[in-house]
Amino acid sequence: MGGAAVTTERSGGDQGEARPPGPLREHLTSATTRAALRVRQGIMAAAREYLTARDFAELQAPIIGPVTDPGVRGAKQVDIDYYGQRYKLMSSAILYKQASLLTFDRIFCLAPNIRLEPPETASTGRHLVEFHQIDVEVAGASREDAMELAQALVQHVIRTVITTMAAELEALGRDTGAFTETLAGPFDRITHAEATEGLAALGHGQSRDSEITWAGERVLSLKASRPFLVVDYPKGSRGFYDRESRTRPGVLRNFDLIAPEGYGELCSGSERESEYATLVTRMRETGENPAKYGWYLDLAREGIRPSAGFGLGLERLTRYVTGLAHVWQTTAYPKLAGVISP
């Protein structure tokens, strides 16, 4: 590695005060950036290798469309003028993932996402306005299948990177011993209700009806020594496409994968809703206007396949693997909420 020395900021996911990116030239010529981008490349290659070997078809997700994923906390979508119509840049590929199962039984894509996050997320150390997800969807799969796949994929990627990119990780100061427990077996699971009770016991207020707060997620993540899954989020905290339990109304058949050491959420997934009438009703429950989802609902009315899948944040996974303090360090052109950037 040439150029500037690697930054030796070693506080990783428990970094307290977030540090914004410096000047672009400094960032682009930094040895830290160079090593992080190499690890990121290795992660993408390992994910592709793992999924392709299991007969997943790789697709390129659309960049624009008449609608996009509305299930994102308080973040604004980006509008563009598309021949006089209001179109959106994709905040996630979820609707196209479901549709693509009309072509293949199992698909993945490395998809760019844009979300104009609330300005306060600029200081969480793990939010970017522009980011990528390793998006995976499997027809006929259950939540259990999706969680096992997410776990196996993450373990494969980490195993591959620590084997093949030891020099980069060493340059970044990442102690690969931190992954011993991560690679040791199945990840632990807790329910959303257990997570909120645990947070309450720690004096951290958390509504049982809401998404776990960013601060709460950090508390849980800091306590953990290996990744864990949070399941059964309440309806009202997620988008209309996360399927509601048939036997436990109000509980979603979904999950988040949380990294330890304060790195926080890496991945969200679920069994998907595929029934037309339920989708329309759930759209209303999430305050959406079904009229604008015309193409998607037309497909659903004629039938889309039941499925399960997840989106694994590429930059967040790279941050966890590299042990960097800020998620923006894993991308060449970082964009933080409310910060005007190249």
Question: By the criterion CB under 8 A, which residues form the site for other proteins?
Answer: 73-77, 85-86, 116-119, 207, 209-211, 213, 234-237, 281, 284-289, 292, 337-338
Q: Which residue, 117 or 256, is less far from other proteins as judged by CB?
A: 117
Q: Which residue, 292 or 305, is less far from other proteins as judged by CB?
A: 292
Q: Give the Cα-Cα-Cα angle 68, 77, 149 (nearest 5 degrees).
A: 50
> Whole-number minimum distance, CB 74 to other proteins, in Å?
5
Nearby residues of 213 by Cβ (< 8 Å), 6 or more positions away? 206
Specify whether the CB–CB gap between 233 and 263 falls below 8 A: no
> Whole-number minimum distance, CB 158 to other proteins, in Å?
31
Q: Which residue, 176 or 213, is less far from other proteins as judged by CB?
A: 213
Q: Residue 223 belongs to what H/E stretch?
A: helix 214-223
Q: Which residue, 158 or 252, is less far from other proteins as judged by CB?
A: 252
> Whole-number minimum distance, CB 264 to other proteins, in Å?
17
Nearby residues of 185 by Cβ (< 8 Å), 6 or more positions away? none
SS3 188: strand
- Rg, the chain, Cα only: 19
Instruction: State how far the Cα of 197 lies from the Cα of 203, in Å rounded to an integer.
Output: 10
- Of residues 4, 2, 6, 10, the one with CA closest to residue 324: 10
> Whole-number minimum distance, CB 239 to other proteins, in Å?
9
Q: Which residue, 59 or 231, is less far from other proteins as judged by CB?
A: 231
> Whole-number minimum distance, CB 109 to other proteins, in Å?
25
